[in-house]
Structure 1
């Protein structure tokens, strides 16, 4: 069941939204507003989540408020990786949440990506799971650990940084609780003690071979809340509807936050998935179609 729809992913991160095309984020604001309105029309019970921001930046939220975006969302989401990419220590998590509460006092604040990788040492990830849980469980309504699986090295990470920033790029491949070969890391048992209070964020690629294994692991761990994504860009692939139906059916037992993002090259102001779309209504139509397909109002009402 879909409980929430996130409108884009990390719009203040150039790996996901191109600031050269949209330097004042007015195009993102227009895109997010139209998407939020379209989602509400199809199913007003779905919580509309502002694309989780990374870095956590109160001024960015103020900018979006000035564009009117906060009038159309229910949740402000943040992403934090203090032992891998952020320039603040892990014990400042409550402070970062408080900063968001101060600029969005009428909104729920969710931590839709939290994580610590095993790049340096697997013992560091064990500490990260335990400390993150200690700091955030009971502090915010939703927490999603990123991620269940390590990113396969052959797939590449969604970033424009690559090797330009030392180890930063390579850390993307070590954020999972389960290694690429399918074996669990020591942190997995520590995460299991936190479920169901802590959910999982897991991207599934088009025709991802890990889907069934993921469902089995999520059940074993006792996970209730799952965040994943539906790619607007991938929706133009042959066979995508069938794949998406299979994925959503496999994940139907979990309370899902579904992220809508990634611009098709032929519909962007620039031919790249981080580009603002030529027409925000095309993205809004995609969001509405996905909610109508997987969480129409009458189906959710019957389930409740």
Structure 2
């Protein structure tokens, strides 16, 4: 069910990792190395991926390499939104990938690429088509962000908010489906690129969209999905029941699970972007989730047919 574990999300973006607490990402690097080792202990064969970086910054990737973080991982990931937030044009995608290839030989995943329909739904459809043309065959994974629009009654996971004008509101228009579940023009375009292109869908705690999302992904021909299990949510009442339900619903897909969000009471600062007080606790959460949902294959107790026959003969 789980094909990969992604360690954090956009660590070089202040919406997901507080640079005032960890300005050189030293704490982040140590945390990821601990988590990678813990995951390897739970399942040595599972692919471990550095959380997708946004912006795409070869300098940050070089820093992770210098810290020895990349030595612990099997792939790296980038996120790009050139029609919404990035300060580069969509046709520069190949150059952005090459910048990261100049730093590491690890496989590169585009674990989030998307275009909002904030300005016009036709723009989102064109952006999807052009992104696919530029990225297919260029990287090892492409995951479109996202399946659903973010409900307007919820809050986007960002530190920018309304201070940057329309930038905040674009978060709510990234889906192939509108908030009410009706399809946008980009949905039909997306279906032309599956299964080569996967999808990203974050499910909130006890998310009401889970079952409908599964139906839509199967209808679209999606075979691999990126989602998350929140360390912070693990402290909610009945958290494991929700995690079990979520992962059971997604069992027909190849899932990349992103582990992120610091519990407020376990951070240096009381915020989900904070470096944890005890990084080993994050590592333990990752290992526990892998042991629960993607345990290593147990072969020591497997009895071959010849062994069974020999036992019967005795």
Instruction: Flag whether TM exceeds 0.5 (same fold).
Output: yes
Question: Which residue is equivalent to 1:124?
Answer: 123
Matches within 5 A, 1:221-240: 221-240=220-239
| Residues 40-119 of structure 1: pairs in structure 2 closer than 5 A | 40-105=40-105, 107-119=106-118
The aligned residue for residue 249 of structure 1 is 248
State the SS of the aligned residue for 1:103: coil
Distance 2:222 2:181 in 1: 18
- Provide the rounded CA distance (Å) in 2 between the counterparts of 1:259 and 1:299: 24
Give me the whole-angstrom Cα distance separating, in 1, the residues matched to 2:137 and 2:175: 23
In 2, Cα distance between equivalents of 1:239 and 1:172: 29
Shift of 1:296: 0.2
Normalising to structure 1: TM-score of the pair? 0.97
Please give the per-residue CA displacement for 1:128-163, whole angstroms capped at 9, x wherever unaligned: 110011111111111000000000011110001001
* Partners of 2:133 and 2:183 in 1: CA distance: 22
> With structure 2 as the length reference, what TM-score do the two structures score?
0.94
How far apart, CA to CA, are the structure 2 residues paired with 1:152 and 1:269? Answer: 30
The Cα of 1:299 is off from its aligned counterpart by: 6.9
Task: Tell me which residue corresponds to 2:309.
Answer: none
The equivalent of 2:311 in structure 1 is none
**Offset, 1:21:** 0.1
Q: How does 1:1-304 map to 2 (within 5 A)?
A: 1-105=1-105, 107-298=106-297
Q: Per-residue displacement from partner, 1:1-37 (whole Å, max 9, x unpaired)?
A: 1110000000000000000000000000011000000
Structure-2 change in CA distance of 1:299 and 1:205 (3 Å)? farther
User: In the TM superposition, what whole-angstrom CA distance separates every residue of 1:183-241 from its partner, at most 9, and x where no partner exists?
Assistant: 10000000000010100000000000000000000000000010000000000000110
The 3-state SS of whatever aligns with 1:78 is: strand
Secondary structure in structure 2 of the residue aligned to 1:293: helix
In 2: Cα distance, 1:150 partner to 1:273 partner:
22
1:67 Cα deviation from its structure 2 partner: 1.3
Structure 2 CA distance for aligned equivalents of residues 129 and 285 of structure 1: 38
Q: Which runs of 5+ in 2 are unaligned?
A: 303-314
Q: CA-to-partner distance for each residue in 1:28-77, whole Å, 9 max, x for gaps? A: 00110000000011111111000100000000011111211111111110
CA distance in 2, matches of 1:154, 1:188: 23
Please state whether the residue corresponding to 1:100 is helix, strand or coil: helix
Q: Distance in 1 between matches of 2:69 and 2:29?
A: 6
Unaligned residue ranges in structure 1 (runs of 5+): none
Task: Name the Cα RMSD after superposition.
Answer: 1.3
User: For the residues of structure 1 that align with 2:47 and 2:98, how far apart are their CA atoms?
Assistant: 21
* Structure 1 residue 182 displacement after superposition: 1.1
